[in-house]
Structure 1
């Protein structure tokens, strides 16, 4: 089995530093934890880039709520990708759906092209998508490199059977990254069942918004070769 890697969702600079010091492989930088993550502040991202030697992916999401965006919001997403590319981040995280919760091929393809050559992750909008396996093929065709998903359930353990199938169907053409309720206590089971290579957690163990270094170390310790 390949060594599992870990991405930590960070909502502040303290978490960014903790993630790196505790052995995370990548940071996903976001704002607004209660909204499920939105585009982070530009200056905070600039600072994060300076302190990180590990990879830094940036969420591009203009607001919480659904994943259907107005023309104005879509233009905002495009301008944010252009601006963040200048900071030499390592990738972007976004996802756009149509009104019927199907994959918005046109708008996603435009953002993927704009982000090029940086890799793009389709975030947990996938957990509300219809035609999950058909959409998987659309995402691969569109050029996404990773899908962050809880297996279309509220957390990764409830969605474990779907995650197993997604990893099988992806067949190394795209990375399926389990995330959503992923903890040091369940990551070994997830890895054993799904054979996924990359895992995602906020590693927050209290009512705050800052990652726990011990939890990150615990997740990493439970990821096997």
Structure 2
């Protein structure tokens, strides 16, 4: 088992995390804003600077106009198409999106529209898959639509809890589409997930807490949720990226 047998993707919450992912040896990043909402489309400036600084790590961009469910209105789809075109013009290597019908099935029409805009780019169907009502049927439909990979935790809160379904999906895919195991993947469990599933692509954040630079704090005022720690930032670190990769590669089969 060698490094070349695997791909590692970092969920990057900004340019700083992108650079840490690259330094740590990641193959690509999924650049996101709005991490507390599960990831939303990053800004034009974020994509531009990340593209300039990422020289050895591929840049994928999430296309998600808001948090919440994955049933999108015509206006939301129009914005998503525009964001895909912008990401392509800025030099992103791939995009990440996913659209569902209200019954939990794959929205073939909406996804086809977005795939047409993303032609020539690598395309991942994100964890909307974990909200699908029939994952077996959904996998076949995503293959037919032309997606390159599926990011999934096996329809469980974390990938290490979803290994049973991940293993079944990996066998079902049989090389026709890539399974990208993600959510809760870290240096303590990545080898066990691989051993249970055989999956060779992994998505993780490898973040650490960094104290903010504000010296003055007003405990009465919050910019978001009152229970959020707004004086501490979370960034990917090269140390944790390397540690997670090594905990899989260095342990061998």
Q: TM-score range by the shorter chain?
A: over 0.9
Q: Deviations over 1:111-137 (max 9, x none)?
A: 112101111100000001011101100
- Superposed counterparts of 1:116-155, under 5 Å: 116-155=119-158
* Rounded Cα–Cα distance in structure 2 between residues aligned with 1:107 and 1:202: 28
Partner residue, 1:208: 233
8 Å Cα contact 2:208/2:234 also seen in 1: no
Query: Cα RMSD over matched residues?
Result: 1.2
Shift of 1:204: 1.8
Partner of 2:235, secondary structure, is coil
Partner residue, 1:47: 49
* Rounded Cα–Cα distance in structure 1 between residues aligned with 2:70 and 2:175: 26
* Rounded Cα–Cα distance in structure 2 between residues aligned with 1:222 and 1:5: 14
TM-score (norm 2): 0.86
Number of matched residues?
225
**Structure 1 position 195 matched with structure 2 position 220:** no
* Rounded Cα–Cα distance in structure 1 between residues aligned with 2:16 and 2:64: 22
* Rounded Cα–Cα distance in structure 2 between residues aligned with 1:204 and 1:19: 10
- Superposed counterparts of 1:47-196, under 5 Å: 47-53=49-55, 54-196=57-199
TM-score (norm 1): 0.97
Shift of 1:223: 2.5
Q: Tell which structure's C-alpha radius of gyration is larger.
A: 2
Partner residue, 1:28: 30
For structure 1, the residue ranges without an aligned partner over 5 or more in a row are none
Shift of 1:87: 1.0
